[in-house]
Structure 1
Amino acid sequence: MSTPVVDFHGHLAVPEADALVAGTGGFAAELAAEQRAHSPESLAANRAQLRRLAGRLTDVDVRLADLDAMGVDLQVVGPMPMHHYWAGPGLAVRLARTVNEAVAAHCAAAPGRLHGLGTVPLQHPDLAVALLDQAVTELGLYGISVSTSVEGHELADPAHDDVWLKAEELGAVVFVHPWGCSLGERLASNYLGNTVGQPTETTVALSHLIFTGVLDRFPRLKLVAAHGGGYLPTYIGRSDHAWRVRPDARGCAEPPSSYLRRMWFDALVYTPRALRHLVEEVGADRVVLGTDHPFDMGVTDPVARLDAAGLDPAARDAIAGGNALDLLLKGHVR
């Protein structure tokens, strides 16, 4: 029996969560920042896309039809994302529970085909620990999706250590997916905030996790990076050079490139050459398929793109689904 094809990067909209933040000052500030970071043309295109994709972001039957058309057997489904890290404790708990319960219900409608990731309020680490435990042990989710920063704080901030420890204990996946770009107006034109900004966000977040020693302290953390890990695997040699020649860059125990083989990356890098390079840098056992379904920056032919890379059969099968199944199931507490 062949290994199932697994897409590790699907999205779910949760209108009930949107309703919780509607009209709040925090959400108004979030929207204002989004408007500053995008041109009017991009904002209009984004709104039109969300209207067009409403069914694909919420309807299980539509999702399954899309998976069938893509040749995907299983999909890991996470929130759109909608973390709203500005929320105070009470609202943050309601948001996380609403999102996590919605993801669990969506996946339960297609058992065996859909596997869920939730969200936690990283701005309140004590609450995040409890909600992560609940998401995995009570709701049956496989982990959480997180953004690349938390209201100006890095994922590598020591305040989040208890969350990473709990994720290790649970065998839970932590999927790093950027939402927005901190470079703001500089990348507002021509959709650069997404095409250039989001890979940059991932590169910065992963670099902090490496250079500050987070991955030394939590070696069993199942960290998965969207969009091929941004630009980090492409220019990791510069990080290694800095680690060797600069004492102030020695916050991690080993050369930064060694940590690429302690995390996982989705294969959403678009070209066969880029995928071959990613595999060369991180190892075939560290790559999973990712479509970014159903957004326009995603792909609808993940298997064809994988095959076009011309990898050996064992590497191809591992990336198509074997690595993802190992990530989801090994050491996971249910």
Structure 2
Amino acid sequence: MIVDLHAHALDEQFIHDLSKTSVAGLRAERGEDGYWVIRRQGDDRKSSIDPNLHDLPKRLESLRRRDVELQLFAPPPFMLAWPGGASSVELVRALNEASHRVSQQSGGRMEMLAVLALDEPDMAAQELQRTVDEHGVRGVMMPSSAGGKPLDGLEFAPLFSLIEKLGLVVFMHPASAVTSERFGMYGVHVLVGWPFETTLAVTRMIFEGLFERHPQLKLVLAHGGGNLVFLRGRLDSAYRATGWEADPYFRKNISCPPSEYLDRLYYDTCALSEDSNRFVIQTMRAERVVFGSDYPFDIGDPEGRCTVPVVDALPEAQRELIYNGNALRLLERAGR
């Protein structure tokens, strides 16, 4: 049995509604190929919608075929944050209601992750509490920044306090805070920029003391944690430096080396190569790794080809932790 903590979905009716009436400046229209695209008011760029995002029967067949008992999902990241902007209360409420409909229609196989109104931090906690009260959500998907604004700022403190109090699982997924033009062609902002976004966000959170202030935060990182697992020794070297490069900032807000905070986090298996998954599991231990497919995206692991061979080769106890045990433990008391 598998619990998949990293997937994306959209309600088909929500897309049709967006084609008639815009929400927070977002509108859906048919592209030249007949597929849906999302446009944002005042922005010439468009985001194509993979039809598998809203094909519920096909997804449910995929879940049965791959022995996925439960899949947690959220809208695709381009709906939530973009260079210079993040989701408003209006957009978040519409997306959360749409995700709730998908959950209801899935026969218990899919569970929504609430999204957050990071563009209005003073209202974000209130909107999240409403969503928890009305829909019983047990987790949230948090972009790596609020359209480029770091999440370790004090304006987001009430939101993190509420998340910690409710015991919600926080799944951090990168979003393009840096314009794609900065990276050039070939979608490099997704291939390279997104792991960098996660790495930057969590590194700032560590050195700003966010995990000191919120020690019970249950944070799961997409894509095997970006570059963080590889860089843990480099972060520690800054904390321990005593010579020319010693900087008080690296110790100002924290009481232990950065790697000890990384050891408290969780990492999904969507690292996109068997070797990378082995490295994450070996370094962070099976107790800190959860299954994540990034369904339905091709630059993901929707069929588990990079994950299943690695996990199946582990001892049974470790295998069970990654496939379902860690996720179920994280979700057990969430939202109460």
Name the TM tier (shorter chain). Answer: 0.7 to 0.9
Q: Is the 8 A contact 2:220 2:267 kept in 1?
A: yes
1:206 maps onto 2:177 in alignment: no
Distance 1:205 1:78, change over 3 A: same
Name the SS for the 2:159 alignment partner. Answer: helix
Q: Percent same amino acid at aligned positions?
A: 34
Unaligned runs of 5+ in 1: 36-42
Match of 2:119 among 118, 123, 131: 123
1:66-145 superposed matches below 5 A: 66-81=62-77, 82-84=79-81, 92-145=88-141
Q: Is the 8 A contact 1:272 1:305 kept in 2?
A: yes
Q: Is the 8 A contact 1:288 1:319 kept in 2?
A: yes
In 1, Cα distance between the equivalents of 2:268 and 2:138?
16
Q: Is the 8 A contact 1:227 1:267 kept in 2?
A: yes
Q: Is the 8 A contact 1:132 1:143 kept in 2?
A: no
Aligned length: 310
Shift of 1:84: 4.7
Distance 1:265 1:208, change over 3 A: same
Q: 1:9 is matched with which residue? A: 6
In 2, Cα distance between the equivalents of 1:120 and 1:304?
30
Distance 1:139 1:195, change over 3 A: same
In 2, Cα distance between the equivalents of 1:234 and 1:121?
31
Higher relative contact order (CA 8 A, sep 6+): 1
Match of 1:256 among 255, 258, 276: 258
Q: Is the 8 A contact 1:266 1:287 kept in 2?
A: yes
In 2, Cα distance between the equivalents of 1:253 and 1:306?
37
1:20-59 superposed matches below 5 A: 20=23, 21-22=25-26, 27-29=40-42, 31-32=43-44, 35=45, 47=48, 50=49, 53-54=50-51, 56-59=52-55
In 2, Cα distance between the equivalents of 1:290 and 1:273?
16
Distance 1:304 1:282, change over 3 A: closer
Q: Is the 8 A contact 2:205 2:211 kept in 1?
A: yes
Shift of 1:143: 2.0
String of CA shifts for 1:277-328, please: whole Å, max 9, x gaps.
1122222111111111111111233277233353222111100111111111
Name the SS for the 2:193 alignment partner. Answer: helix
In 1, Cα distance between the equivalents of 2:60 and 2:140?
22
2:26 partner letter: A
The runs of at least 4 consecutive aligned structure 1 residues that moved more than 6 Å come to: 85-88
Mean Cα displacement is larger for which, 116-125 or 78-87? Answer: 78-87
In 2, Cα distance between the equivalents of 1:153 and 1:69?
40
The answer to which structure has the higher helix fraction is 1
Unaligned runs of 5+ in 2: 28-38
